[in-house]
Structure 1
Amino acid sequence: MSQDSIPVTVLSGNLGAGKTTLLNHLLRNAGERDLAVLVNDMGSVNVDAERVAEDSELEVSGGVAELSNGCICCELRDDLETAVVRLARDREFDRLIVESSGISEPEPVARLFTTSSRVAARYEIDALVTVLDTRLFLDSFDGTATPKRRGADPESAVDGDASTRPLSDLLIEQLEVASVVLLNKTDLCDRDELERAETLVNALQPAAELIRTEFSVVDPDRLFDGDRFDPATLGERAGWQRALAGDEHAEPDSEPASHGPPGTDHDHRHPDEVYGVDSFVFRERRPFHPERFHEFLRSLPSSVVRSKGIAWVAGRDVKVEISQAGPSIRATVRGPWIASLPEVDRQLYRSNRPDLAWDDDHGDRRTELVFIGTDLESSRLRSDLEAALVTDDELERAETLENRFPIEPEDERVLREP
């Protein structure tokens, strides 16, 4: 970290997980550190900022800067940028803590500190801390917890509206980018539940440091002095991404190999090798039958906690991203296949991507999906996926098949919800 940069710790976690309790604990135990805090809440009155100010004997207009009535990862991004630049200009602190709303994704917040020239010149993130309500985390992936992540007025949400996704979606987004994960409220779980929670967290985010806490009590040194964030790997740390990378050159039935970032002294191995959670990678250069694939996804067993990747769906000449988190499954268009572009554009893209896997018949069209879960029946999953592929006859009339998958750029469809 640059000597002149202000270190930043970003706190995220679902509503009620214990973020504000953690923040007040850090303020009360700051020692010689001078901390500045930026608190975001979704209401017109920033309740969290008031609680922080009250509990820590700080004035909201002084040591605590607040952003209200919005989410710092989206609507209030410009306000966040202005606030942190102003704080740096009037600097009277050693470290900035950003507590995001319980319905915010931490990745866009982190990218502000790494991509905005005004902000990156003054700050440097050293940790993305996600606080988990351990009991709720387990329940979410057992299909018993169904709180919505956004949408103050549930009656105003249309069917399939992406703004009212289940809690499991948000937990995944907050977890997969974390560099530190606090398993909080551990006093409400027994030993077996805690071990299961740790297993799931380690499989979903194997690069994060995991800390068990009660009432968000943790030694501040474990959060402040680790320099655990690497902006170069933001968005590339999730367990499903590591499974894909490790399986890239493996034969379908071979054992997964250890792999890790160059220059590190750790091997980041597949979850089934380290944590007792299975991972299964499926690759195929034949498209799925849209109805059979849709039914496969909707029938995924509860043992599959997370699945992610790109699917080739017949009748949709676009990349369809599949994202499943517990009971929630959604499909999003992530652009066209390069093979579907005009020849001039196709050649340009290929010349700029010499490592692009290309097939003489299908170009870059293919499916790459990762499944992570407990007690996975990999052979059964593979068999069901292969049965969902189109036959030659079906491929010839692909455009006439009933198709529930999206086709427009960035279009998203909810395929399953609690």
Structure 2
Amino acid sequence: MTDSRPRVTVLAGFSSAATAAAARVLLLADPALVLLSHDLSGVRDGVVRRSVRDAARVLENAQTRLVHGCVSCTLREDVLPALVRLARDRPGRDIVLALPAVVEPEALAAACAASPAVSEAVRFDSFVTVVEAASVLDDLSSAERLRDRGLHSSGNDRRRVADVVSRQIEFADTLLVWDRPGNDPFTTGRVDSLLHRLAPWAVHVRVGSTPSINVTALSASLRQRDRHDPGVPGILTRAMCGFPIGIHDPDGEYGVNAMLFRSHRPFHPARLHEALASIAGEALRGRGQTWIASQPDTVIGWESAGGGIVLGGLGRWLAALPEDRWPEANGLRRLAADVGWDPYYGDRQTVLSLVGLNMDVDRTSRRLTACLLDDTELSAGEDAWRTLPDPFAGLLTPATAETD
């Protein structure tokens, strides 16, 4: 059967100028296309400005007041209803949704997946992250928080610039690298290498290195490709569901390298806590899942960027649940657990992906390995593990522990 729902192409990216340029290209290529965008400059005061336009004119320019000024409120109270309304009022016209610079596409996807009205009205064709080649290396290396640049969406928005940029890149099924003429080959190669290691599953498209852009060809590489798969889990739960979380390439190229670290053994909480700062300083980006001996029931999500690490509870391991509750878990997760089940640890395991610039892979691997329980500690058993000194006690469920 033919799916008559309008296709939605989502454009995300930390450079508002590059994202806007990509949106203009898509409008020029298809006069029937509609662009939905939001200005969040007043969001901390509860004000959001919404714009709808096509290639010829502005169709809407309205201001919305939110009960609470934040990104999640904007998605729930304005972005999602606007998508549904545009699909209803302009049937047959595909939509480009250009996200503001501080909005992470995974948050949008989660909000849409939880809304039957959105699922009935539109289908998501592709999540495109627009990367400005001139600034992405600096942004991924930055220790600044959004607040330092005046970009925080609320008073409690503590996200780092590197956090947001990394997540935008990792969630994409398509990466559009917006370059400029005259970039030196080494910088170009370094940017491409870094993006490949951050998002090896994404299709990479590059424009802007020449004075002109083939609008039709660029549009065809981004739209109506059906690249978005709503069944693919978010970055922190990819490994639990059997999806690759990164690549192991210690040598790398252009000074960019990557490593995967896996272990069924748990981390010693005190040794891990002591080593976090050095591990965060070694890699530009780290992500994945882990567990610590003192909290053996809890899946811990690991994210590092901008010199800091955030650890947060992701729920319980299947091995810590009675079997009659396993059907509550994602089917892919149950299948992955069955394939990799360990007779002693069950589905508990650490899977981390680290990406860096000239990262010392051997030293980082040794640091992580030294944080695991040794044979003597392991043989003491789970009851003894739970009594280990734990700097993370009370922090991982449901809140997060953050280390600079």
User: Normalising to structure 2: TM-score of the pair?
Assistant: 0.77
Change (3 A) 1:130 1:17: farther
Cα distance, 1:309 vs structure 2: 1.7
- The question of 1:208 aligning with 2:203 is answered yes
Check whether the contact 1:333–1:411 (CA below 8 A) recurs between aligned residues: yes
Change (3 A) 1:342 1:179: closer
Q: Secondary structure at the match of 1:283?
A: strand
State the match for 1:411 in structure 2: 399
> RMSD in angstroms over aligned alpha carbons?
4.2
State the match for 1:146 in structure 2: 144
Q: Which amino acid aligns with 2:82?
A: A
Q: Secondary structure at the match of 1:125?
A: strand
State the match for 1:222 in structure 2: 218
Q: Secondary structure at the match of 2:290?
A: strand
Check whether the contact 1:41–1:100 (CA below 8 A) recurs between aligned residues: no
State the match for 2:34 in structure 1: 36
State the match for 2:166 in structure 1: 172
Cα distance, 1:222 vs structure 2: 2.5
Change (3 A) 1:219 1:30: closer
Check whether the contact 2:15–2:131 (CA below 8 A) recurs between aligned residues: no
Q: Which amino acid aligns with 1:386?
A: T
1:210 and 1:330 map into 2 onto residues whose CA distance is 31
State the match for 1:324 in structure 2: 304
2:197 and 2:168 map into 1 onto residues whose CA distance is 14
1:390 and 1:223 map into 2 onto residues whose CA distance is 52
- The question of 1:123 aligning with 2:126 is answered no
State the match for 2:191 in structure 1: 197
Q: Secondary structure at the match of 1:4?
A: coil
Residue correspondence of structure 1 range 197-276 to structure 2 within 5 A? 197-206=191-200, 207-213=202-208, 219-224=215-220, 225-232=223-230, 234-235=232-233, 245=243
Cα distance, 1:367 vs structure 2: 2.1
* CA offsets 1:225-259 (integer angstroms, 9 cap, x no match): 45142324544689x859x8569xxxxxxxxxxxx
- Name stretches of at least 5 consecutive residues in structure 1 with no aligned partner: 248-267
Which of 267, 270, 273 does residue 291 from structure 1 map onto? 270
User: Normalising to structure 1: TM-score of the pair?
Assistant: 0.75
1:370 and 1:183 map into 2 onto residues whose CA distance is 23
Cα distance, 1:269 vs structure 2: 7.0
- Name stretches of at least 5 consecutive residues in structure 2 with no aligned partner: none
Q: Which amino acid aligns with 1:353?
A: R
Q: Secondary structure at the match of 1:389?
A: coil
Check whether the contact 1:72–1:80 (CA below 8 A) recurs between aligned residues: no
Check whether the contact 1:180–1:223 (CA below 8 A) recurs between aligned residues: no
2:126 and 2:111 map into 1 onto residues whose CA distance is 14
1:110 and 1:142 map into 2 onto residues whose CA distance is 26
Cα distance, 1:117 vs structure 2: 3.3
Residue correspondence of structure 1 range 369-408 to structure 2 within 5 A? 369-391=352-374, 392-393=376-377, 396=384, 398-404=386-392, 407-408=395-396
Change (3 A) 1:342 1:375: same
- The question of 1:305 aligning with 2:284 is answered yes
2:244 and 2:59 map into 1 onto residues whose CA distance is 48
Cα distance, 1:140 vs structure 2: 2.5
* CA offsets 1:81-108 (integer angstroms, 9 cap, x no match): 3222222222166221111111111123
State the match for 2:19 in structure 1: 19
Check whether the contact 2:49–2:62 (CA below 8 A) recurs between aligned residues: no
1:94 and 1:346 map into 2 onto residues whose CA distance is 42
Cα distance, 1:210 vs structure 2: 2.5
Q: Secondary structure at the match of 2:20?
A: helix
- Kindly tell me the number of residue pairs found equivalent between the two proteins: 383
Cα distance, 1:166 vs structure 2: 0.7
Cα distance, 1:283 vs structure 2: 2.3
* CA offsets 1:207-235 (integer angstroms, 9 cap, x no match): 22231336995625433545142324544
Identity of aligned residues (%): 26
